């Protein structure tokens, strides 16, 4: 498979110059061409990525990243994290307060914005990515999303964030070991950032008793986010979508979950949620939900 992919890429590269103009790429998409990212990135599309959700057109400025390009060529729910975005979209219609922790370019916030009555907080501490997030919000003329530059962690103070020194920021973490492992040979730089806890933020911004929907994708620092939201968890006031990449991370996550919570893995086919009690290889994202909110999952048949 790897050899076939290499050969395909070598054959494709000489054609990429002819296919690179944006009108050509739009035409190819219109007639049903669906390029995998390893080919699409050769075309370096720098235009606007558009998709329609609930009858509303939404837009993202392309920076030739995987999430943008797979949406461009495959559609919102068929591209990168398509099942997660499908589940997130349905859940986001049921909450008045939504938190996007590790917002990156804002795709989860944009999807949640189809709930026009929700207040959305998008946290993205990496300056260059924060600007991309703001650019996409402005492109859609959205006023429901508040962008925050803080790192969400287990304390209100200052933390060091480890990021690639050059190129696309696909890894940014306060967990130095995680960043070192996943940056591989890339040089690493450090950014000093303000940090806050979810308990402190929600205490200030939420009405008493309000339940929030939260996405957590912070590159190995998920335990710190969970440690900073003990009050939310213990009071059964959060339904979350969290990235978990291995058994150790799952164990850390599970140890934070009160007994009142159920856990589901996000899977690629209907009903999109699978009840789990352990880490499942191949499942990268998990839903945690308190029993008093379990009815919000009923739309995913057989999920409960």
List CB contacts of 44: < 8 A, sequence separation 6 or more: 20, 64
At 37 the pLDDT is: 94
List CB contacts of 129: < 8 A, sequence separation 6 or more: 104, 105, 169, 172
The two tokens of residue 268 are 């690629």
Query: Do the Cβ atoms of 191 and 222 come closer than 8 Å?
Result: no
Identify which of 58, 79, 78, 57 has the alpha carbon closest to the alpha carbon of residue 67.
79
State how far the alpha carbon of 141 is from the alpha carbons of 57, 105, 135, 206, in Å: 11, 15, 10, 24
In a 13 Å sphere around the CA of 73, the CA atoms on its Cβ side amount to 23
At 303 the pLDDT is: 46
Identify which of 75, 67, 237 has the alpha carbon closest to the alpha carbon of residue 136.
67
Orientation of helix 2-19 relative to helix 22-30, angle to 10°: 120
Give the residue ranges of the chain where pLDDT is below 70: 1-2, 166-170, 184-186, 301-304
In a 13 Å sphere around the CA of 6, the CA atoms on its Cβ side amount to 3
Q: Which CATH number, 3.30.530.20, 1.10.10.10, 3.40.50.2300, 3.40.50.150, labels domain 81-297?
A: 3.40.50.150
Q: What are phi and psi of 242, to 5 degrees?
A: -130, 140
Whether the model clears a pTM of 0.85, i.e. scores above it, the answer is yes
At 259 the pLDDT is: 96
In a 13 Å sphere around the CA of 187, the CA atoms on its Cβ side amount to 4
At 169 the pLDDT is: 64
Orientation of helix 22-30 relative to helix 66-74, angle to 10°: 50
Beta bridge partners of 172: none
At 162 the pLDDT is: 87
- How far apart, in whole angstroms, are the C-alpha atoms of residue 211 and residue 206? 9
Q: What is the rounded (10 degree) CA torsion for 139, 141, 145, 148? A: 50
- How far apart, in whole angstroms, are the C-alpha atoms of residue 166 and residue 168? 7
Range(s) within the chain of domains with CATH label 3.40.50.150? 81-297
At 146 the pLDDT is: 98
At 145 the pLDDT is: 99
């Amino acid at each position: 498979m790897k050899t076939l992919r290499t050969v395909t890429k070598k054959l494709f590269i000489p054609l990429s110059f002819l296919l690179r103009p944006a009108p050509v790429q739009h035409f190819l998409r219109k007639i049903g061409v669906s390029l995998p990212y390893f080919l699409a990135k050769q075309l370096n599309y720098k235009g606007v990525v558009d998709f329609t959700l609930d009858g509303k057109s939404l837009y993202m400025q392309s920076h030739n990243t995987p999430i943008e390009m797979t949406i461009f060529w495959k559609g919102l729910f068929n591209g990168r994290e398509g099942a997660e975005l499908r589940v997130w979209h349905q859940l986001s219609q049921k909450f008045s307060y939504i938190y996007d922790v590790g917002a990156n370019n804002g795709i989860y916030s944009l999807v949640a914005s189809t709930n026009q009555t929700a207040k959305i907080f998008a946290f993205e501490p990496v300056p260059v990515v924060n600007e991309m997030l703001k650019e996409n919000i402005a492109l859609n003329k959205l006023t429901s999303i508040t962008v925050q530059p803080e790192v969400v962690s287990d304390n209100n103070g200052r933390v060091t964030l480890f990021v690639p020194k050059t190129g696309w920021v696909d890894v940014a973490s306060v967990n130095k070991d995680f960043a070192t492992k996943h940056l591989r040979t890339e040089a690493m730089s450090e950014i000093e950032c303000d940090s806050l806890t979810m308990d402190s933020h929600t205490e200030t911004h939420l009405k008493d008793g309000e339940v929030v929907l939260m996405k957590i994708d912070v590159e190995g620092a998920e335990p710190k986010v969970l440690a900073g939201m003990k009050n939310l968890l213990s009071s059964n006031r959060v339904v979350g979508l969290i990235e978990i990449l291995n058994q150790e991370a799952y164990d850390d996550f599970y140890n934070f979950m009160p007994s009142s919570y159920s856990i589901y893995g996000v899977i690629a086919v209907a009903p999109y949620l699978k009840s789990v009690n352990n880490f499942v290889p191949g499942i990268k994202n998990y839903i945690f939900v308190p029993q008093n909110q379990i009815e919000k999952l009923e739309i995913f048949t057989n999920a409960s």
